[in-house]
Amino acid sequence: MSNDQVRNTILDSVRKNQPTSRSMPQIPYFGIDDTKDLVELFTQGVMRMAGAVIQDAIPDLDDFVHHRFPDAKVICSAVPECKGAIRPKELTHWPEASKTDVSIVRSPLGVAETGSVLLSDVELQINTIAFLSHDLVVLLDPDQIVQNIHNAYQHPYFKARPYSLLMTGPSGSGDIGGITVHPAQGVKTLTIVLAGVPH
């Protein structure tokens, strides 16, 4: 049976069996208390998931990365503020990102409720740098922190880009004895640097 025939069989069966249509509810606006400091909430969220937030101004990002990761040899920078050793586009095959020790990328959006940052193929260029690098440094303009997941999913990337990710802390797992460990398969550390976009 062809894919189209199978498709039509399934759709016929769904049409025959689906109960009487129920209406779609209106999703109200869920905001958080205006008095709450979004940067503070965001920071708490990141730390709860074993990530780190740097709030102090960093004059030289290359220096910062070298000091924070003294053993790192291959630094892959996807941002103009940091030279690094290589740019993502120099990785011709996506698995090659495993050779990078640290990747640096800018996020266009943070989420206070969860401590998440948005990353997409626009910023990452080679998506695997967010997973195969040992350590990940994400720059985020504190003015781009939104209240919650409802706000976050209004970002146009989710409707337009091939890949978008809400990332919250480094890779982790509780699969061995229920004990949370970092990392599992992804990055070992996640450092978020709060820094506006340079003019």
Partner 1 sequence: MASMTELVHDPVFSKPKALLSGVRGVQIVDFDRIDECCGFGGTFSVTEEAVAAKMGYDKLAFMQKASPDCIVSSDMSCLMHLQGCALRQKQDSISPYRRDLERSITMSPVNQARNAEAFLEDTVHEERLDKLLWLLRMRRDAAARQVPEWEELRTLASDIKEHTLTNLSDYLIEFEAQATANGVTVHWARDAHEHNQIVCDLLAERQISTLVKSKSMLTEECELRPFLETRNIRVTETDLGERIQQLDDQPPSHIVGPSIHKTTKDVANLFAKKYGSDPNNEDAAYLAGVMRENTRPEILNARAGMTGANFLIADTGGVIVATNEGNAELSAHTPSLHIVSAGIEKLVPNMESLAVFIRLLARSATGEAITQYTSTFRGPREGAAMHVILVDNGRSSRLGMERFWHSLKCIRCAACMNTCPVYRRSGGLSYGSTYMGPIGIIMMPTFDVRKYSELPFASILNGSCTNVCPVKIDIHEQIYGWREVMEEKGQIQTVKKQAMKIADKVLSNPTLYQIATTSMSTALDVLPHFAIYNRLNAWGKHRDVPEAASETFHEWYNNHRLKANEVLGL
Residues in 45-84 at the binding interface with partner 1, rule: CB under 8 A: 45, 48-49
The minimum distance between CB 174 and partner 1, in angstroms, equals: 7
Instruction: Give, for 117, the enclosing helix (H) or strand (E).
Output: strand 116-120
When the beta carbons of 51 and 84 are compared against partner 1, the nearer one is: 51
**Does an H or E element contain 7, and which?**
helix 3-17
Say how many C-beta atoms besides its own lie within 10 A of residue 125's C-beta.
14
Pick one of 9, 36, 40, 80: the residue that binds partner 1 (CB under 8 A): 9
Select 17 or 67, whichever has its Cβ closest to partner 1: 17
Beta carbon nearer to partner 1, 64 or 157 = 157
> Quick one: tokens of 152?
């976050």
Enumerate residues 127-186 that contact partner 1 by CB under 8 A: 127-128, 130-132, 148-150, 152-154, 158-159, 161-179, 181-186
Q: Which of residues 88-127 bind partner 1 (CB under 8 A)?
A: 94-95, 98, 113-116, 121, 127
Residues 198 and 82 sit within 8 Å (Cβ to Cβ): no
| By the rule CB under 8 A, 36 interacts with partner 1 | no
Residues 49 and 110: beta-carbon distance below 8 Å: no
Residue 27 or 57: the one with the smaller Cβ distance to partner 1 is 27
Tell me if residue 56 falls in helix, strand or coil. Answer: coil
Closest CA to 152 of 167, 170, 171: 167
- Closest to partner 1 by CB, 52 or 197: 52
The candidate with the shortest Cα–Cα distance to 60, out of 80, 78, 82, 84, is 82
Candidate segments 10-18, 73-81, 82-90, 138-146, binder of partner 1 by CB under 8 A: 10-18
Question: Closest separation between CB of residue 151 and partner 1, Å?
Answer: 8
**Beta carbons of 77 and 135 less than 8 angstroms apart:** no
